[in-house]
Amino acid sequence: MGLDLIVFLLFMALALFIDFKAHSHDQVMGLKSAIGWSLFWVATALLFAAYLYWHDGATSMSLFLTGYVLEKALSVDNLFVMMAIFAWFKVPEIYRHRVLYYGIIGAIVFRLIFVLVGSGLMHLSAYVEIVFGLLVGYSCVVMVKNQEKEEDTGEEDYSKHLAYRLVYKFFPVYPKLVGHDFFIKKEQLSSLERNLEGQEASELHHQSAFAKAKIIATPLFLCLAVIELSDVMFAFDSVPAVIAVSKEPLIIYSAMMFAILGLRSLYFVLEVLKGHLIYLEKSVIVVLAFISLKLILAATDQLFGVGVDISPTISLYIVLGVLGAGVLLSLFKGKQERAPTPSSPDHFEEPSVETPKQEVADFTHTRLNNCEHKIQELEDRVSKLEEEKHKP
């Protein structure tokens, strides 16, 4: 297991270095680029799986792949939440990759803590497996309720989020984005304040903490904080589910990390496909229900001799089968909706224009955000030039 740890750490260090170098500049990731990077991260995970097969055997490889696929699938729901957060904070696409990068750094740390604690508890008693099984089952119920709630209430107000309130408690917050910066210095306020007007200017003057603060948070940091805390809450669902696959901490953690590494590129793919994968979240709920049942049956088999221990290979096939069915059903449903239907004089339906309108609205909203950002950048540059001009 010592060699496994060394190889895993080398993979992780190299992957993070490549990702940091490849995306060190602020730029919008296109669909082709996002798909390419997603495939690259999948190939990296498969390469590590091949190493496990060579060094530890087929069982370790199956455990790793099952955990990897499960974490990847569960992350889809988390990515949809991130999309909603970005939309609420009106973060331009050009800065989203930066926020996701630091969000994933946080996920690496928090997942390690969760995995060490969770796998340690799992080794204590089979009764803990039952508790974990019930927790995963409860996650299914929560996901179903959240789907119904989203349909009824629509957009969530993130100003009531715990992370949002905590940031305001410890930092004064500048009311506008300042490029890709999470924080600004107090010295920058005088030049930036000229760009504020109306409600934004009054919001700045109402925050008394500005007078004493040396560092000031920006809305981009607010967004990052909300994403980080949302991810921690998400880990309470995902970690027990992945621990159900294996009690070995390195297998669990490596599976989760390889899945998380590809989340940023997957985010930009899902942003395009979110309206088409309508059954994916439902298939994830079915997978969670299976994992819950697997945990409880394995525990009752160990404790009372009544139950069944499902092998890692069968678990992998079931998880892949359910998720694959969800994707295929989504694609089939989408194809049916897009297929032309014959019309007759007696049964004439006007073609729906809602989808094109929505697409145009989304496109326009994104471009307006980017234009606002460019204007703000120009204003900042003008302010800096004026400051330099008036310097003795």
Cα dihedral across residues 27, 31, 37, 38: positive or negative: positive
Q: Give which of 267, 195, 187 is closest to 231, Cα–Cα.
A: 267
One-letter amino acid of 249: P
User: Does residue 108 have a pLDDT over 70?
Assistant: yes
Q: What does the alpha-carbon distance between residue 249 and residue 116 come to, in Å, rounded to a whole number? A: 6
User: Does residue 388 have a pLDDT over 70?
Assistant: no
pTM, 2 dp: 0.74
Tokens of 75: 């992350």
Q: Which residues contact 121 (CB under 8 A, 6 or more apart)?
A: 128, 132
For residues 60 and 247, the answer to whether their CB atoms sit within 8 Å is no
User: Does residue 253 have a pLDDT over 70?
Assistant: yes
Mean pLDDT of 336-357: 46
Where are any strands of DSSP class E within the chain?
183-185, 215-217
- Residue 186 burial by Cβ neighbours in a 10 Å radius (0-12, 13-18, 19+): middle
For residues 67 and 256, the answer to whether their CB atoms sit within 8 Å is yes
pLDDT at residue number 375: 64
User: Does residue 276 have a pLDDT over 80?
Assistant: no
pLDDT at residue number 54: 94
Mean pLDDT of 199-217: 62
DSSP string of 24-49, one letter each residue: -S--PPPHHHHHHHHHHHHHHHHHHH
Residue 45 pLDDT grade (very low, low, confident, very high; cuts 50, 70, 90): very high
Residue 334 pLDDT grade (very low, low, confident, very high; cuts 50, 70, 90): low
